[in-house]
Structure 1
Amino acid sequence: MTLRSAGASPSIEEAEAHLLGLELFGMRFGTGRMRRLLAGLGDPQQRFASVHVVGSNGKSSTTRMIAALLARHGRRTGAYLSPHLVRFGERILVDGEDLGDAEFAAAIGRAAAAAAEVDADAAADDHITQFELLTAAALDELARADVDVAVVEAGLGGRYDATNVLPSAVQVLTNVGLEHTRWLGPTIADIAAEKLDVVQPGATLVVARSLHRDALTVAEAVCAERGATLVLAPDTPPVPVDLRAGGTFQRANFPLACAAARAFLRHDLDPGAVRAAAATTLVPGRWQRIDTGPDTILDGAHNPAGFAVLAETLREVLGGRRLVAVLSILDDKDAAAMLRELLPLCAEVVCTHSANPRALPPSTLQSLAAQLGWPITRLESDPPRALALARELAGPDGLALATGSLYLIADLLRPADGRRASSL
């Protein structure tokens, strides 16, 4: 259904309510609906160049960094990210700025009208999903904003993801870990193959030198099959930089972003532009310090590979300080593997529950920690109260960390009377 009659844009409250209502229908994979939806909008993805970012971790950070680098090289640049933390409009950026409420609502209104036309001829179990509607709205808005290039983060996987409709010139694979195995397959090679289906004939695929060897083998085969060029990104950026984005993982993401920007521009990067992009790019919810006394960090690590890198960062910065972690983990994650990475560094843990209905109960996390030999846990189902408790337990000279899920981070960043984030 459309949100309002033709010619009238919905309010932001109506647009977000419409999107949240689509969560009831869950996820459906495949690009057929998406292509029909975009056709109804005039195929906006054909009106700008694009860089497509896939991977298990680091997609949002790398997407933001590539967009910042391209903007610093004079390109009018858009970006599409997921998920958001507080506002849906955070997912769509034009020249580094989040889309405003009025513009976002209008974009959703246009996409919803096109979706109603697609749904009218579809079976009840083949209607447009929330992520498809968001993606179509984003691509349409970026085309209307007359961007030169859009840097687009994939959702889940690649082959059947709604973003796999882009005629992208450059694709980026950040890394591959064992995630979403029920959908993407049981091995690193299986998951890499799903993600790398976004590689376009004759395009350029950029990967990190540290990419898992099984994923690299798949990348080489896909590039050979599709006549694409494979670029192994250097381990360091082309010039020394001071990164505003904190965390060990960002030191790997930024050189990858530089290699992707160079591949798109087809020339060496300007040193001043590289330094400026590094100094100004902030990634919300990724090693984000929100307070001091004690230092209070929010980090959206949400799988074992992410926790391994998070633990590496913590070992660098703790310096003997007392660490108290607030944890909420979704039920489709390998929580045990995540806890094994983090628990040895913690003095105490506070188990909580994000607003996402797929979050594990705090008592389940507590039981799992005990099974791993870690009985020093507290239970507090309310995330803000859990973080307040962690700060108290850490003491003014310690470190309080909230992690395990971006939905937990969203709960902690959202104003008390704010609208909730999507559960998908």
Structure 2
Amino acid sequence: MSGGPAAPDPGAATGCALDAIYAGAMAARPARPGFDRDLRRPDRLLGLIAAAGLMPDPDRVILVTGSKGKGSTARLIAAGETAAGRRTLLFTSPEETTALDRIRLDGAVIGAEDFLRHHAALAPQFEALAAGLPAGEALSPFGQFLAIALSHAREVGADRLVIETGRGAAHDEAGRLRARIGVVTAILPEHLDRLGPTLADVAAEKLDIHGRCGRTILTATAARTGRDAGIRLADALVVGAPPVDAADDRPGWLRQDLALARAALVADEIDPMAAVVAEALDRMAASVPSWGRATTADGREIGWEAAVQAASLDAGRLARLGQAGWRVLLSVTDDKDVDGLIDALAIAGLPAHGVVLQGRRGPLVHGPGVHRRLAARLGQGPDAPLYGPIDHDDVPAMVRLLYDTGGADAAPVLAVGTQTFLRLVRAAIRTGADARSQSP
């Protein structure tokens, strides 16, 4: 037996670092009502980033924003850049499974030791900046993670930084960076309480990156929304929707994300049709966290799709799932398009069972109080198709719910809703349902 001191536990140390990052935001809850443009102050952390010498060379940066598909598009672009031989840092938000997977280098999640080293170097500056804030305000956890990611990128000499913006773009730290290429996915009436009150306001938030990017690439629908809002995008590259392909089971938004990623790679002088790049894009498209399928050891099929707005759903694909007898679990909070989602699923022959999540994840709070609209639509009637509340990290409960929904006839189950809900569903599939991955 060694008589020396026990080695430090990197897991415990990481937990302490994460607590420090979130402490201010947690103490400032409940969040003040109002729009990001009035409340958020991204220049605070951007000033810290610049003073620390971490501001990236714009020619190495690719920004991705939008209301739907920005995380998937960022992952696809990063996969293509890595496949082409460029050392690529990917920054996404929120996390996929753990807080550290917001930061990846060539597909690998940043190690705990690296994360802790960068956080330790920046923590005194974070603390000094936070100490001078007005009462009730806090440093953005998103911006602190971004600073750590930029520190890591500088240390490893990343050739490219593919950065997903936060909720908006105009008023978060990532969206204020200058970039070689900016990509805008869908623009939808989401987060109207923070980015609105109108769709034109959301468009202005997202398309604000246009003035800081050497080349802007966006979907046809985003371009149309921008024009309707009076935003000039004359020099932007507009990528149309890919043609409908009944043989391709991937949702339309994912095929659109692939088209955007290919266009971004071309703009960055990479051939997306080159075999090694095309294969990397296909692999990533099959593994994005916002959509997928798995088959359990006993043959049950479970799918998942991130959707908080009916406009992002692929009606044709849903109709095919309805005809095939799929059953749906839906979990969305009151600030999402609850009625639109339920109606779209019903039209496709996919009546939904609601799931109420509860508990706290970072600065987010869940529970019956933020699922009132879901309960009003799905909590009535003899069948009362509303489940929960379930803790957002209660994997065994989610496993039981997936199996109960499929029933004795093992009907396929589709989980639709927020990333928090899908994170729980994927964990249930991995740990409780003994699932094996299945290509779409």
TM-score range, shorter chain: 0.7 to 0.9
Q: Secondary structure at the match of 1:45?
A: coil
Report the Cα distance in structure 2 between the residues aligned to 1:59 and 1:230, rounded to whole angstroms.
Answer: 18
Aligned twin of 1:191: 202
Structure 1 residues 77 and 218: CA distance shift in structure 2, 3 A: farther
Does the C-alpha gap of structure 1 residues 174 and 274 become closer, same or farther in structure 2, counting only changes over 3 Å? same
Q: Which residue of 2 aligns with 1:403?
A: 416
Check whether the contact 1:355–1:407 (CA below 8 A) recurs between aligned residues. no
Tell me which residue corresponds to 2:375.
366
Secondary structure of 2:173's match?
A: coil
Identify if the C-alpha distance between structure 1 residues 269 and 390 changes in structure 2 by more than 3 Å, giving closer, same or farther: closer
For 1:122-166, what per-residue CA distance to the aligned partner results, in whole angstroms no more than 9, with x for missing partners?
A: 434454221111111112212212111111111111111111232
Cα shift readout 1:168-220 (whole Å, capped 9, x = no counterpart): 01111101000111222233322111111112357111012343623245586
Distance 1:190 1:350, change over 3 A: closer
Counterpart AA for 1:353: L
Instruction: Give the counterpart letter for 1:379 in structure 2.
Output: Y
Please state whether the residue corresponding to 1:196 is helix, strand or coil.
helix
How many residues are aligned here? 395
Gaps of 5+ in 2: 1-9, 32-38, 432-440
Whether 1:412 and 2:425 are equivalent positions in the alignment is yes
- The reply to whether residue 149 of structure 1 matches residue 160 of structure 2 is yes
Gaps of 5+ in 1: 1-8, 419-424
Whichever residue aligns with residue 298 of structure 1, its letter is: W
Is it true that 1:287 corresponds to 2:275 in the alignment? Answer: no
Is 1:389 aligned to 2:401, yes or no? yes
User: Which of 368, 385, 394 is 1:377 aligned to?
Assistant: 385
Residues in 2 aligned to 1:220 and 1:348: alpha-carbon distance in whole angstroms: 38
Equivalent pairs: percent with the same residue? 24
Which residue does 1:140 correspond to in 2?
A: 151
CA separation of 1:52 and 1:70: change in aligned 2, threshold 3 A = same
Map of 1:102-121 to 2, 5 A cutoff? 102-121=113-132
CA distance in 2, matches of 1:23, 1:55: 24
3-state SS of 2:157 partner: coil
User: Per-residue displacement from partner, 1:254-303 (whole Å, max 9, x unpaired)?
Assistant: 011111111122x6544313421222214443223243332112322223
Q: Give the letter aligned to residue 369 of structure 1.
A: L
Whole-angstrom CA distance in 1 between matches of 2:256 and 2:376: 34
Residue of structure 1 equivalent to 2:78: 67
Contact 2:68-2:187 at 8 Å conserved across structures: yes
Change (3 A) 1:367 1:217: closer
Structure 1 position 31 matched with structure 2 position 42: yes
1:315–1:104 CA distance, 2 compared to 1 (3 A): farther
C-alpha contact 1:38 1:136 (8 A) present in aligned 2: yes
Counterpart CA distance in 1 for 2:327 and 2:136 is 45
The answer to whether the 8 Å contact 1:171/1:199 transfers is: yes
How far does residue 304 in structure 1 lie from its aligned partner after superposition?
2.9
Q: What TM-score, normalized to structure 1? A: 0.82
- The aligned counterpart of 2:338 is 335
Q: Are 2:359 and 1:355 equivalent residues in the alignment?
A: yes
CA deviation after TM superposition for structure 1 residue 50, in Å? 0.5
Match of 1:3 in 2: none
Distance in 1 between residues matched to 2:21 and 2:311, nearest whole Å:
31
Is the partner of 1:379 in helix, strand or coil? strand
Q: Would you say 1:41 and 2:52 are equivalent positions?
A: yes
CA distance in 2, matches of 1:102, 1:374: 54
Structure 1 residue matching 2:171: 3-state secondary structure: coil
* 3-state SS of paired residue (2:415): strand
Give the TM-score of the pair, scaled to structure 2.
0.80
1:315 match = 319
How far apart, in 2, do the equivalents of 1:126 and 1:352 lie?
A: 30
After superposition, the CA RMSD in angstroms is 3.2
SS in 1 for 2:174: coil
Cα displacement (A) at 1:78: 1.1
Q: Structure 1 residue 56 and structure 2 residue 47: aligned?
A: no
Deviations 1:206-248 (A, max 9, x none): 0123436232455861x45xxxx310125449xx9x99x9433
Contact kept? 1:206, 1:232, Cα under 8 Å: yes
**How much has 1:354 moved relative to structure 2?**
4.5
Shift of 1:31: 2.0
Deviates more, 1:165-174 or 1:360-369: 360-369
In the alignment, what sits opposite 1:421?
none
User: In 2, are the aligned partners of 1:330 and 1:360 still within 8 Å (CA)?
Assistant: no
Query: Who is 1:422 aligned against?
Result: none
Which residue is 2:36 aligned to?
none
Matched, 1:177 2:188: yes
**Counterpart of 1:128 in 2: which secondary structure?**
coil
CA contact (8 A) 2:24 2:138 kept: no
